[in-house]
Amino acid sequence: MSYDYIICGAGPAGCALAHRLSEDPAVTVLLLEAGGADKNPLFHMPAGFAKMTKGIASWGWSTVPQKHLDGRVLWYTQARVLGGGSSINAQIYTRGNAKDYDAWVSEAGCEGWGYRNVLPYFRRAEDNQRFADAWHGTGGPIGVSVPINPLPISEAFLRAAQEYGIPYNPDFNGARQGGIGHYQVTVRNARRSSAAVGYLRPARDRANLTVRTGAQVLRIVVEKDRAVGVALAAGAGTEIVRAEREVIVSSGAIGSPRLLLLSGIGPADHLRGVGVDVVHDLPGVGGNLQDHLDLYVICECTGDHTYDGYAKPHRSAWAGLQYLLFRKGPVASTLFETGGFWYADRSARSPDIQFHLGLGSGIEAGVAKLKNAGVTLNTAFLRPRSRGTVRLASADPAAMPLIDPNYWSDPYDREIGLAGLRMAREILRQPALEPFILAERQPGPGHDGEAELARYAFRTCKTDHHPAGTCKMGTDRLAVVGTDLKVHGLDGLRVCDSSVMPLLVSSNTNAPTVMIGEKGADIIRGLPALTAAPPNALDTGRALESA
Task: Please compute the mean of the pLDDT values over residues 474-484 and round it to a whole number.
Answer: 97
Catalytic residue among 356, 465, 466, 488: 466
Predicted confidence (pLDDT) at residue 217 exceeds the cutoff of 50: yes
Could you give the angle at which helices 535-546 and 98-106 cross, rounded to 10 degrees? 100
Task: Please compute the mean of the pLDDT values over residues 262-277 and round it to a whole number.
Answer: 98
Task: Please compute the mean of the pLDDT values over residues 238-248 and round it to a whole number.
Answer: 98
Question: Which pLDDT does position 257 carry in this prediction?
Answer: 98
Tell me which of 3.20.190.10, 1.10.10.10, 3.30.410.40, 2.40.50.100 is the CATH number of domain 150-182+293-381+408-460. 3.30.410.40
Task: Please compute the mean of the pLDDT values over residues 434-459 and round it to a whole number.
Answer: 95
Over its C-alpha atoms, the chain yields an Rg (Å, rounded) of: 22
19 has catalytic annotation: no
Quote the CA–CA distance of 150 and 142 in Å, as a whole number: 22
Predicted confidence (pLDDT) at residue 49 exceeds the cutoff of 90: no
Give, in degrees to the nearest 5, the angle at Cα 149 between 147 and 152: 110
CB atoms within 10 A of CB 273: 12
Pairing, β 389-391 against β 187-188: unpaired
Query: pTM score, two decimals?
Result: 0.96
409, 464, 520 from 414: Cα distances, Å? 8, 15, 35
Predicted confidence (pLDDT) at residue 175 exceeds the cutoff of 60: yes
Widest CA span of the chain, in angstroms?
A: 69
pLDDT tens sequence across 123-169: 999 999 999 999 999 999 999 999 988 999 999 999 999 999 999 99
Pick from 252, 476, 468, 290: which is nearest to 387 by CA?
A: 290
**What is the average pLDDT score of the chain?**
94
Predicted confidence (pLDDT) at residue 535 exceeds the cutoff of 60: no
Q: Which residue has the higher pLDDT, 368 or 218?
A: 218
Predicted confidence (pLDDT) at residue 253 exceeds the cutoff of 60: yes
pLDDT tens sequence across 298-356: 999 999 999 888 766 667 776 777 777 667 777 888 889 999 999 999 999 999 999 99
SS3 sequence of 197-223? HHHHHHHCCCCCEEEEECCCEEEEEEE
Predicted confidence (pLDDT) at residue 542 exceeds the cutoff of 60: no
Strand segments, DSSP code E, in 156-267 are 179-182, 187-188, 191-192, 209-213, 217-223, 226-234, 237-249, 265-266
Q: Supply the DSSP symbol for 328.
A: -
CB atoms within 10 A of CB 134: 18
Question: Which pLDDT does position 547 carry in this prediction?
Answer: 40
Task: Please compute the mean of the pLDDT values over residues 244-249 and round it to a whole number.
Answer: 98
Instruction: Return the percentage of the chain with pLDDT > 70, whole number.
Output: 95
Predicted confidence (pLDDT) at residue 369 exceeds the cutoff of 50: yes
DSSP characters for 108-155?
A: T--TT-SHHHHHHHHHHHEEESS--STT--SSSSEEEB--SS--HHHH
Task: Please compute the mean of the pLDDT values over residues 84-113 and round it to a whole number.
Answer: 97
- For residue 540, what pLDDT band results from cuts at 50, 70 and 90? very low
Instruction: Return the percentage of the chain with pLDDT > 90, whole number.
Output: 86
